[in-house]
Amino acid sequence: MPLLRTLGAALAVLAASTAIPGTATAQAVNPKPQTIPALREWTGGTGDFTFSATSRVVRDPALATTAAVFADDLTARFGHPVAQTDTGARAGDVVLRLGSTDTALGEEGYALSVTDRVVITARTDTGAFYGTRTVLQLLKQRTTIPRGTARDWPLKPERGLMVDNGRKYFTPQWLADHVKELAYLKMNYLHLHLSDNLGFRIESEKHPEYVSAQHLTKQQVRDLIALAARYKVTVVPEFDAPGHMDTILAKHPDLKLVSSSGQVNNGFIDLSKPAAYTLIKDIYDEYLPLFPAPYFHIGADEYVTDYASYPQLLTYARATYGSTANAKDAYLGFVNWANGIVRAAGKTTRAWNDGLHGGSAVRVQSNIVIEFWYKYGLTPQQHVDNGHLISNESWDPTYYVLYNGSVGRPNTTWGYETWNTNVFQGNQTLNSASQSRNLGSKIHVWCDYPAGETEAQIASGIRDPLRMLAQQTWGSPKLVSTWSAFTSVIAVIGRNPAWPSSAQPGNLAFGKPVTVSSTETPAFPGVNAVDGDYGSRWSSAYTDREWITVDLGVTRQVGRVKLSWETAYGRGYLVQSSVDGVSWTTLRTVTGGDGGVDDLTGLAGSGRYVRVQGTARATSWGFSLYEFEVYGA
């Protein structure tokens, strides 16, 4: 028997290794392609679909807007117009269809079939739109798509971004760019925090006196809302009250809350005064009609904590809610009062969680959506048990905060590898029966010190956290298990095709693969140095012998290298080239670098690989480059 086994094995090897004329070798089944978020289900086929200059978007008539947006994005990707038609699908086309009977797809899911054409089928326009985002990501990588079939739908209905416009002015273009970026990641919610202690950032016809010099006009907001509608993004405003009202109260000082000792609080409005409600109602009446979203955020965070210092609130509460009321009831009553106005306008109120507890005569109405950001007061489970819908806006891992001299960044490693959307701040959770009451989550940009970063730097800083959150809120099986591996997927997917780039014509390094000796943290990977974005950067460990190498793909002449340094610049370094990545030729030696931009011209060399090899740091930090650009001779 051992001899027969050996003989059988030998014959099997011979058969496997001997080609028979006229037969085809079986093709490998295509693995799940790289997308963010990952596809929920994938069945690989063999071979590829190819998108060409003659490919068209073939649509159901009801999908005209989605098809037009998709065609515009494809034009941005390929640089030529993409035709649209209602009939006659052929090989090479992308087909958008409604009419799916697959109930598992829900309102936002879709099915994808890739053969000699791509067919997206959905139950709704939104589902078809998200199918186009998958195809767009795949075509961002190359002009071919692996054949196969997919079914895909989200875990959570809300997946988004909050921007603190109140403290820092964000331009309409920045906001529009992020609408498209959210949609690229199948995210659907933009929360505009429009008022805070440092500004009121939207035009007002009722109260122009408290509008900040830098602000959005109503027409700019309408334009943003219209763009967002095309990209399936809901724009929700927030006007924070009764706290964080410094800008407003600076023009209405008689309404500032004053303590029993005479201390004036510049940000708290006095809820014992009828004029306070008149002023706030003016805000609601002016902006409720402007925003068509089903939600309206009233803020309601970080109001009074030492109620004993404000006896007028106790007096008001007992006069309004009865003798059993405590001072906190004045605040809780305000929340319910605001909710009544919002609901009368046909919308649902949203409010931060931290103060929504502690009354004795007043309980917050259960039709208010609770945005849970920190472990103050009631637990998430208690809020849900009280009848509320809830969203997970936990500080960890969703807060991006501009501090004085530093930036607090989301812990993306923990957020990707460990956290999920049903884990709230303080590791508080919901029971399985309550998890459907959790709407989702957002990345939050808080601008406590608005000069801490520029718009471009913030855009760079939130790029990877948004992709972490996109994956976690969509909830599909991950392509890779570690954050380090996921950053490689991020690099492959890139930005949406319409994202503005600072890349200069002729930059051979733009978008090319890079390797580095180290990274300071996962927030500063090497790919940032070749992304055409002067707001993002690579940052190394704190040694003198750090390096970064770009692979140009083929051997090229190298005549110029431009290095844009962050504060941690190189005082000494070598610029080198190589044809094989092993043997290096030094093109320039720098020993007295002074930071800023080093534009090194007159180089004479060639290679597939170009490297900056550090020899001496200028600071105690490592080496940090915003951009590493390479140009031909």
Q: Encode pLDDT of 245-265 as tens digits.
A: 999 999 999 999 999 999 999
Site of tokens 């007992």: 318
Residue 599 has pLDDT above 60, yes or no: yes
Q: Give the number of other CB atoms < 10 A from CB of residue 505.
A: 6
Q: Is 218 helix (H, G, I), strand (E, B) or coil?
A: helix
Same CATH fold assignment for domains 41-152 and 158-493: no
Distances (CA, A) of 469 to 254, 420, 461, 556: 43, 9, 14, 39
Counting other chains too, the contacts that 209-215 makes at CB distance below 8 Å and 24 or more residues apart are 209/251, 210/247, 210/248, 210/250, 210/251, 210/252, 212/169, 212/247, 214/169, 215/169
Query: 596, exposed or middle or buried, with CB in 10 Å at 0-12, 13-18, 19+?
Result: exposed
Question: Does 1 score more than 60 pLDDT?
Answer: no
End-to-end CA distance of the chain: 70
SS3 for 236-279, per residue? EEEEEECCCCHHHHCCCHHHEEECCCCCEEEEEECCCCHHHHHH
CA–chain centroid gap for 21, Å, is 54
Mean of pLDDT values over 451-477: 96
The C-alpha atoms of residue 563 and residue 614 are separated, in whole angstroms, by 13
pLDDT for 222 equals 98
Tell the residue number behind the tokens 């494809």, with chain if given. Answer: 74
Alpha-carbon distance of 350 to 333, in angstroms, equals 15
Say which CATH topology domain 158-493 has: TIM Barrel (3.20.20)
Can you tell me the distance from the alpha carbon of 430 to that of 421, in angstroms, rounded to the nearest whole number?
Answer: 10
d(C-alpha 95, C-alpha 60), whole Å:
8
**DSSP of 104-117, one letter per residue?**
GGTTT-EEEEESSS
Q: What pLDDT is recorded for position 4? A: 33
Centre a 10 Å sphere on the Cβ of residue 282 and count the other Cβ atoms it contains.
Answer: 13
The answer, yes or no, to whether residue 175 has pLDDT greater than 60, is: yes
Report the pLDDT averaged over residues 29-46. Answer: 98
pLDDT at residue number 534: 85
Q: What is the pLDDT of residue 111?
A: 98
CA 300 to chain centre: 25
Check residue 25 and give its pLDDT: 53
Q: Are strands 514-516 and 41-50 parallel, antiparallel or unpaired?
A: unpaired
Lowest mean pLDDT among 83-87, 167-171, 511-515, 603-607: 511-515
The model's confidence at residue 9, banded by pLDDT at 50, 70 and 90, is very low
Q: Read off the pLDDT band of 26 (50, 70, 90).
A: low
Helix (H, G, I), strand (E, B) or coil at 562: strand
CA 69, CA 57: separation in Å to the nearest integer?
A: 11
Which of the residue ranges 269-273, 495-499, 520-524 would you say has the lowest mean pLDDT?
Answer: 520-524
> What confidence tens digit (pLDDT) does each residue in 523-544 have?
788 988 998 888 889 999 999 9
| pLDDT, position 393 | 98
Give 94-116 pLDDT, tens digit per residue: 999 999 999 999 999 999 999 99
What CATH number is given for 514-631 in this structure?
2.60.120.260
Q: How far is the C-alpha of 616 from the C-alpha of 245, rounded, in Å? A: 50
Q: Which of 302, 417, 455, 566 does the annotation list as catalytic?
A: 302
Q: Taking the model in full, what pTM does it have? A: 0.86
The answer to whether residue 302 is catalytic is yes
Torsion region of 452: left, alpha or beta (phi above 0 gives left; psi -120 to 50 gives alpha): alpha
The helix/strand/coil state of 614 is strand
User: If you write DSSP's letter for every residue of 380-409 in order, what string do you get?
Assistant: HHHHHHTT--EEE--HHHHEEEE-SS-EE-
pLDDT at 169: 98
DSSP 69-83: HHHHHHHHHHSS---
pLDDT (tens digit per residue) in 364-404: 999 999 999 999 999 999 999 999 999 999 999 999 999 99
Cite the DSSP H helix spans in 401-454.
Answer: 412-417
Whether 8 has a pLDDT exceeding 80, the answer reads no
Q: Alpha helices of 288-411 — where are they, by DSSP H?
A: 311-321, 328-344, 380-385, 395-398
The rounded mean pLDDT for the chain is 94
- Give the helix/strand (H/E) hosting 182: helix 172-184
For residue 450, count other CB atoms closer than 10 A to its CB: 15
Task: Cite the beta strand spans of 414-484 per DSSP E.
Answer: 423-424, 428-429, 440-446
Which run of H or E residues covers position 555?
A: strand 547-558
Which pLDDT score is estimated for 17? Answer: 37
pLDDT of 417 over the 70 cut: yes
Contact assessment for residue 189 and residue 470, using Cβ atoms and an 8 Å cutoff: no
Give the residue-averaged pLDDT of 82-99.
96
In this predicted model, what pLDDT tens digit does every residue of 547-557 receive, in sequence order? Answer: 999 999 999 99
Instruction: Please enumerate in sequence order all residues whose Cβ is within 8 A of that of 7, keeping only pairs 6 or more positions apart, or say none.
Output: none
What distance in Å separates the CA atoms of residue 219 and residue 174, rounded to the nearest whole number?
16
Domain-by-domain residue ranges, the chain? 41-152, 158-493, 514-631
| Tokens found for residue 218 | 């109503």
Q: How far apart are CA 201 and CA 199, in angstroms?
A: 6
| Least confident stretch, 373-382, 448-457, 525-534, 563-572 | 525-534
In this prediction, residues 125-144 reach a mean pLDDT of 96
Question: Of the candidates 55, 69, 81, which has an alpha carbon nearest to the alpha carbon of residue 125?
Answer: 69
Q: Is the pLDDT of residue 3 over 80?
A: no
Using alpha carbons, select from 466, 624, 460 the residue that is nearest to residue 533. Answer: 460
**Residues with Cβ within 8 Å of residue 121, at least 6 apart in sequence:** 97, 98, 99, 100, 110, 111, 113, 128, 131
pLDDT digits (tens, 9 = 90+) for 265-304: 999 999 999 999 999 999 999 999 999 999 999 999 999 9
What does the pLDDT average to over 74-85? Answer: 94
Report the percentage of the chain scoring pLDDT > 90: 89
For the domain with range 41-152, which CATH number is right: 3.10.20.30, 3.30.379.10, 3.50.4.10, 3.40.50.360? 3.30.379.10
Q: How confident is the model at residue 511 (pLDDT cuts 50, 70, 90)?
A: confident
Bridge partner residues of 96 (DSSP) = 59, 120
Query: How far apart (Å, rounded) are the C-alpha atoms in residues 321 and 526?
Result: 60
